[in-house]
Amino acid sequence: MTLDNIFINGNFEYSNIISCLSSDDEDLKPYALLELNEIKTKDDFKALISNLTGHDGRIRELVSSKLCEISCADFAQDYFSLLVDALCDVNPNVSRNIVKFISLNELPLNDVLIDRIMLIMQEIEANSKPKKWRTQKNHLLNKMYFKLYWCLEAFSENFNQPFNEDKLLEILSENAECVDYTIREKVAKILVKMDNPPEDLYQKMKNDVNYYVKLNFHDKI
């Protein structure tokens, strides 16, 4: 019996759901995901998370939502890079769900995030010449700022996990000058969580021209 016949007959057994997630049937996967209530093995987690990127938007969003709903973080260790890929999804609902999954489970992937942030910054710079990347905005750069925004947001929400402080300070210093205020807002959000932030950078962001950037310091004034 085919998977579509199984699901038409209401047979949403766990094994059938996992088989569907491992299949190429993009039409049935949303139904299988809606019925998924647990993940039992590492292989089953692979079947789930493999649908987080490179698939139809409704599938990506459902997978990201399920990650937050079911207990499966113990299987995520080998998929930190893929999670950061999903964090950079064009759908902000996917990005938001991944931030929640990372922070709720306190996943130790901050250095993976830092490496991805630095890579995005390099890509922005490569597409900004001859001007300095942080002074420009256009459609191409806006898409890169979008990725940068969500990576910085994930880092700020997962701040208590270990990270390379020197690399972080380099990131914060560069992005404090970004023309996009939402990026500066994330810089400020991270700065106020640091025990000993650089005073000059702290004061710079505290006195930013944008209200939402300064709002991070509202209880520090």
Q: Per-residue pLDDT averaged across 104-130, rounded?
A: 93
Of 14-18, 129-133, 158-162, 167-171, where does mean pLDDT reach its minimum? 129-133
- Of 46, 81, 116, the residue that ends a domain is 81
Total domains in the chain come to: 2
Q: Per-residue pLDDT averaged across 61-90, rounded?
A: 96
Q: Quick one: 166 and 131 in the same domain?
A: yes
Decide if 44 is inside a domain: yes
Q: Quick one: 3 and 73 in the same domain?
A: yes
Decide if 17 is inside a domain: yes
Q: Quick one: 116 and 204 in the same domain?
A: yes
* pTM of the complete model: 0.91
Decide if 72 is inside a domain: yes
Decide if 95 is inside a domain: no
Decide if 3 is inside a domain: yes
Q: What is the CA radius of gyration of the chain?
A: 20
The pLDDT score that the predictor gives to residue 2 is 58
Q: Quick one: 63 and 130 in the same domain?
A: no
Decide if 41 is inside a domain: yes
Tell me whether residue 68 is exposed, middle or buried, using C-beta atoms within 10 angstroms of its C-beta: 0 to 12, 13 to 18, 19 or more.
middle
Q: Per-residue pLDDT averaged across 164-189, rounded?
A: 96
Decide if 130 is inside a domain: yes
Q: Give the domain range for residue 160.
A: 108-221
Q: Quick one: 145 and 195 in the same domain?
A: yes
For 128-157, write each residue's pLDDT tens digit: 876 676 677 788 888 999 999 999 999 999
Q: Quick one: 113 and 220 in the same domain?
A: yes
Decide if 112 is inside a domain: yes
Q: Per-residue pLDDT averaged across 69-98, rounded?
A: 97
Q: Per-residue pLDDT averaged across 153-162, rounded?
A: 96
Q: Quick one: 13 and 54 in the same domain?
A: yes
